Amino acid sequence: MDTQQRAVQLGEHTFDIRISGPEDGKWVLLLHGFPVNGTCYDKVVPRLHESGLRTIVFDQRGYSPGARPDGVDAYALDLLVDDAIGVLDSLHVQYAMLVGHDWGGIVAWHLAGKHPDRFTGLVAASTGHPSAMRDALDSTDQRERSLYIKDFIGDDAEQKLLADDGAALLATGITAEELAPLTEPGALTGPLNWYRANFTGKIAEKLACPPVEIPTTMVWGDGDEALGREQAQLSGRYAYSDFRYCELPGIGHWIPQHASAALASEIALRSTVF
């Protein structure tokens, strides 16, 4: 099925957008995480098209070459949320299903909590509701699992992560092909600024998210080393509409790439619930 490549201008930033699927299909907005761009959904979107869904994937702030502002503050969570709403507005999409993985999941929870009138349902992969993450930090090993973040916020993080041909990032499970865009001069700074802007200072205040009142599915792989089971399961406390928890045995953090069929099935299932 043909994919429309578009450049969407939001203020001074230009975002790379890919639209595909049946023209009369229900819209699905898919948000990627760190450190991969929207290509992480390449195995998911064709399956969604088979289910009659029409997809929007865009490379978010720091990942689209035309949307790499200078300065850490330019990557505050509220701005990331505004980008997604701006993309929908520019495409004249009033309602969409919402999907997010990793950092895209954090943005997706905030979108669902703050703009429930724009989304018919949410599927979060790996990343639980920010309040559930807070709960897990207090009562489980999630704090230890999250220690890697310290390596991402240092001033020399770019040099360390790209040393030895990006060995540290490749060790997380991404592929050399997924790493390649980050090796361009300055390309890694924007993605790392997501961490610097939101995981320093008053973190709880920055990540504070309302409960979600749209139908929600939480998908988590039991091999995820960064994000534990509790933060995923406890998300049900903060989802006030229909909530489904889906655990994938033998799957690690990279659900869109390694469990594309299962994720697509959950998205298609959730898209039928209003």
DSSP letters for 137-194? HHHSTHHHHGGGHHHHHSTTHHHHHHHHHHHHHHTTT--HHHHGGGGSTTTTHHHHHH
Q: Is the dihedral of CA 55, 255, 235, 169 positive or negative?
A: negative
Q: Determine whether 102 is an active site residue.
A: yes
Residues in the chain: 274
| Distance from C-alpha of 264 to C-alpha of 123, rounded to nearest angstrom | 10
Among the listed residues 102, 110, 129, 224, the single catalytic one is 102
Residue 193 vs residues 1, 9, 196, 242: alpha-carbon distances, Å? 35, 21, 5, 34
Q: Determine whether 110 is an active site residue.
A: no
Q: Determine whether 195 is an active site residue.
A: yes
| Distance from C-alpha of 103 to C-alpha of 77, rounded to nearest angstrom | 10
Among the listed residues 41, 75, 195, 238, the single catalytic one is 195
Contacts of 156 (CB under 8 A, 6+ apart): none
Known catalytic residues? 102, 195, 253
